[in-house]
Amino acid sequence: MHARSTISYFVKLLVCLTFVTYAAAHNTPVKAVAVLTGTSGVSGTVYFQQDKPHSKVKITGTIQGLTANAKRGFHVHTFGDLSGGCNSTGTHFNPFNQTHGGPNDPVRHVGDLGNVQTDNNGTATLNFEDWFISLRGHLSVVGRGLVVHAGTDDFGKGGQSDSLTTGHAGARLACGIIGKHKIFYSAHKLTPAQILYTARTL
């Protein structure tokens, strides 16, 4: 009888640990970072954070060395491959095979983040949110390329031959790979005493 009780207790403990692990993995904020470099003096660091599954992604950071007082195209590209420079990142991340659009358009590439706006010094300060991209699941942008362009993204409405594919945003000035931030998890963790208490009450 005692052995059966002990087994039952450990089964409950295992269930509790499984639940806690699952909850932490699905409710923990996920953070990523991309360090942008290029051959034209453009550089920057961009951070991504998604607090919960299916929630919007907050994008912050700075990009320096751009043309002053200008809008420059800013996109997530398919591949996190910099072996051939920014061209190795491929096309805009477009898992649903849509045409190019602006960040607020219902039809767009997932990677269409629009333009960044520079100040008098050619620095763009980023602080916005996007609902299309994700840092989780098989459609995550983690591991993909991030590119800033030489021209302004026309959101697919400019009538150019490449408006519906690239937004006519021009050459790729700088790029980086979106990687997991070293502080990847920051969820509240149950103490061993709390886990044992929960198991006893199951």
Write out the catalytic residue numbers: 75, 77, 92, 100, 109, 112, 149, 172
Q: At what angle do helices 2-27 and 192-201 cross, to 10 degrees?
A: 120
How buried is residue 168: exposed, middle or buried, by Cβ count under 10 Å (0-12/13-18/19+)?
buried
CB contact at 8 A, 28 and 186: yes
Backbone angles phi, psi at 103, to 5 degrees: -65, -20
